[in-house]
Amino acid sequence: MSRVLRALLNSLGLVPSLHPVARGALRALADGRELSGYEICKIPAAAWPLAREGVGFGAIYPRLRLLESRGLVSGRWVDPSPGRRRRHHVYVITPRGRRALEREMRG
């Protein structure tokens, strides 16, 4: 969807609703913590939509990239820490993402 069309729909209060997996990811990030995709999937707010949609853990990553491209979450790479072997990507909800989630929750 084009940015102009999205802005028009938004101004009319007709923003398309979020995909259930995206909504679950935003709910999981709503408390402001930085979480990896795997950690998001372990939180019930995100795990339930994944299970309901019949998709595996891998489905969260394309949604997180989409949310990031739309400015709803921000991601960054983190170097390995004790107990982790590799770098991993963590995400945090942005103010824009928080507003989208609030709109979504109001219905």
Q: Is the pLDDT of residue 60 over 90?
A: no
Phi, psi values for residue 15, rounded to 5°: -65, 130
Please tell me the distance from the alpha carbon of residue 102 to that of residue 107, in angstroms, as a whole number.
9
CA angle 7, 9, 12 (to 5 degrees): 110
d(CA 61, CA 21): 10
Q: Are 72 and 9 in contact (CB under 8 A)?
A: no
pLDDT at 14 over 60: no
pTM across the whole model: 0.75
Q: Which helix (H) or strand (E) holds 51?
A: helix 44-52
How much is the average pLDDT of 45-70?
77
Top mean pLDDT of 5-9, 85-89, 94-98 is at 94-98
Mean pLDDT of 9-13: 59
